[in-house]
């Protein structure tokens, strides 16, 4: 049985990074400036992955 992935390595890495950003954004004690930076990066990744 052959398995052919449906995503590229770059997409996979971007998805994992997005998950990490979302975990960090879930921290209620996160500094507002850091939160804004993380939200901007997450939005950029979502656009790149076609999730927006």
| CB-based contact 18:45 (threshold 8 Å) | yes
- CA–CA–CA angle 43, 47, 52 (5° rounding): 85
List, for residues 3-52, the tens digit of each pLDDT value: 776 888 999 999 999 999 999 999 999 999 999 999 999 999 999 999 87
Cβ-proximal residues to 45 (8 Å cutoff; 6+ apart), any chain = 14, 17, 18, 21
Tell me, what DSSP letter sits at residue 4? -
The whole-number pLDDT of residue 52 equals 76
State pTM to two decimals: 0.81
Could you please report the per-residue DSSP string of 29-44?
Answer: T--HHHHHHHHHHHHH
């Amino acid at each position: 049985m052959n398995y052919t992935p449906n995503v590229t390595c770059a997409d996979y890495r971007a998805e994992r990074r997005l998950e990490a950003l979302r975990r960090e954004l879930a921290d209620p004690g996160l500094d507002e400036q850091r939160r804004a930076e993380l939200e901007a990066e997450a939005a950029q990744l979502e656009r790149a992955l076609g999730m927006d």
